[in-house]
């Protein structure tokens, strides 16, 4: 099946901490790859390396058939590497509308904005309406984004990402702090991504969620991949149980 992202022997150190230790990692189009492991294992670092926020010390990152190892973060975003953050990142004093359009501004720099808001402007509205129907709540678009609850902001971050039509979507702990109903909506958003053939990387501590949506799971411990397999094998892997699952309540 089509690979959209590939990390080859990627290394990253912070002083004495080895945050990525010879990591090999693959993401397929239209599939969700789970990324799990204890706190400090290097999960968020891996997303930062993929999105270009951090440079690798060595190793290669291949995205959509191209070597992007030395491509700066803003270009990788425009090429189709989208992400959300462990704690949502918005311009807190700006309106919900402006914050969501930041996603589509990626197109601005490519010169696509006219077609997006002009000729195809109705597509944007359409798309936004479809996505808002999935998240299942309404907003006043002019309100400051900081005025809405945390769970809703986290969901809107995924909406913003989807509005940029990414090829890869990196999602860092989307269920943390969300209630059961909100988590179901997040799953719906991820499934929409799947139906669009987006390759999704999902960092998540909730094993029920990881098990139900991921096609395969990579387990990190001290920056190292200790297991990379289908969910059923990962949960029964001794090393994974020892390092991570056994510790969960
Ligand atoms: N910018 C940074 N500077 C120094 N150390 C960092 C930085 N980012 C991450 N680390 C360290 O790298 C390790 C992995 O962190 P992180 O990727 O955030 O783990 P996880 O997301 O799995 O909890 C930790 O020891 C963390 O302290
Ligand atoms: Mg993290």
The predicted-structure confidence for 171-220, as pLDDT tens digits, reads as follows 999 999 999 999 999 999 999 999 999 999 999 999 999 999 999 999 99
Ligand nearest to the CA of 55: 1
> Could you tell me the distance, in angstroms and rounded to a whole number, from the CA of residue 45 to the centre of ligand 1?
6
Q: State whether residue 171 is helix, strand or coil.
A: strand
Q: Which residue has the tokens 């197109």?
A: 107
Residues with CB under 6 A from ligand 1: 14, 17, 19, 37, 39-45
Q: Residues 116-147: pLDDT tens digits?
A: 444 345 677 888 999 999 999 999 999 999 99
Which residues in 158-243 belong to E strands, given as ranges? 168-172, 199-203, 216-221, 224-229
> Whose atoms come closest to the Cα of 41: which ligand?
1
Q: Which atom of ligand 1 is nearest to the CA of 48?
A: 17
Q: Which residues pair with 82 in a beta bridge?
A: 169
- Mutation pick for ligand 1 pocket among 42, 55, 171 (CB with most ligand atoms within 8 Å): 42
Q: What is the CA radius of gyration of the chain?
A: 18
Number of domains in the chain: 1
Predicted pLDDT at 122: 60
**Residue 192 CA, ligand 1 centroid: distance in Å:** 30
Q: What is the pLDDT of residue 104?
A: 63
Residue with the smallest CA separation from ligand 1 atom 7 is 14
CATH number where 10 lies? 3.40.50.300
Q: 142 C-alpha to center of ligand 2: Å?
A: 31
CA 37 / ligand 1 centre spacing (Å): 13
Cα–Cα distances in angstroms (integers) from residue 27 to residues 54, 115, 169, 180, 226, in the given order:
19, 30, 10, 27, 17
Which residues, 6+ apart, have CB-to-CB distance to 227 below 8 Å? 217, 218, 219, 233, 234, 237, 239, 240
Q: How far is CA 76 from CA 55, 81, 109, in A?
A: 12, 6, 13
Nearest ligand to the CA atom of 219: 1
Ligand nearest to the Cα of 42, by number: 1
Measured CA to CA, the distance from residue 161 to residue 84 in angstroms comes to 7
Q: What confidence tier does 229 reach under pLDDT thresholds 50, 70, 90? A: very high
Domain that holds residue 108: 3-247
Q: Is the predicted pLDDT of residue 111 greater than 80, yes or no?
A: no
Q: What pLDDT is recorded for position 117? A: 43
- Give mean pLDDT, residues 49-63: 97
Query: Residue 54 — pLDDT band, cuts 50, 70, 90?
Result: very high
Using CA positions, which residue lies closest to atom 18 of ligand 1?
44
Q: Whose CA is nearest to atom 8 of ligand 1?
A: 45
For the CA of 54, the nearest atom of ligand 1:
1
CA distance 13 to 179: 36
More confidently predicted of 125 and 224? 224
**Does the pLDDT at position 162 exceed 90?**
yes
Q: How far is the CA of 243 from the centre of ligand 1 (A)?
A: 17
């Amino acid at each position: 099946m089509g690979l959209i992202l590939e990390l080859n022997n990627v290394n990253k150190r912070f002083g004495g901490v080895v945050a990525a230790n010879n990591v090999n990692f693959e993401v397929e189009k239209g599939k969700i790859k789970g990324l799990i492991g204890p706190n400090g294992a290097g999960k968020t670092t891996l997303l930062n390396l993929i999105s270009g926020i951090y440079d690798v010390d060595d190793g290669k990152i291949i995205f959509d058939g191209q070597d992007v190892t030395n491509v700066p973060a803003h270009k990788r975003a425009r090429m189709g590497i989208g992400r959300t953050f462990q704690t949502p990142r918005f311009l807190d004093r700006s309106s919900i509308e402006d914050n969501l359009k930041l996603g589509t501004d990626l197109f601005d720099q490519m010169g696509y904005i006219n077609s997006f808001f002009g000729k195809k402007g109705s597509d944007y509205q359409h798309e936004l309406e479809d996505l808002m129907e999935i998240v299942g709540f309404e907003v006043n678009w002019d309100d400051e984004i900081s005025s809405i609850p945390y769970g809703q902001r986290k969901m809107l971050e995924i909406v913003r990402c989807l509005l940029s039509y990414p090829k890869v979507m990196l999602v860092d702990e989307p269920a943390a702090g969300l209630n059961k109903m909100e988590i179901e909506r997040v799953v719906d958003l991820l499934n929409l991504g799947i139906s669009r053939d987006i390759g999704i990387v999902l960092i998540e501590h909730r094993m029920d969620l990881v098990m139900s949506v991921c096609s395969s799971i990579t387990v990190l411990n001290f920056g190292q991949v200790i297991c990379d397999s289908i969910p059923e094998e990962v949960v029964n892997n001794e090393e994974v149980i020892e390092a991570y699952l056994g510790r969960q309540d």
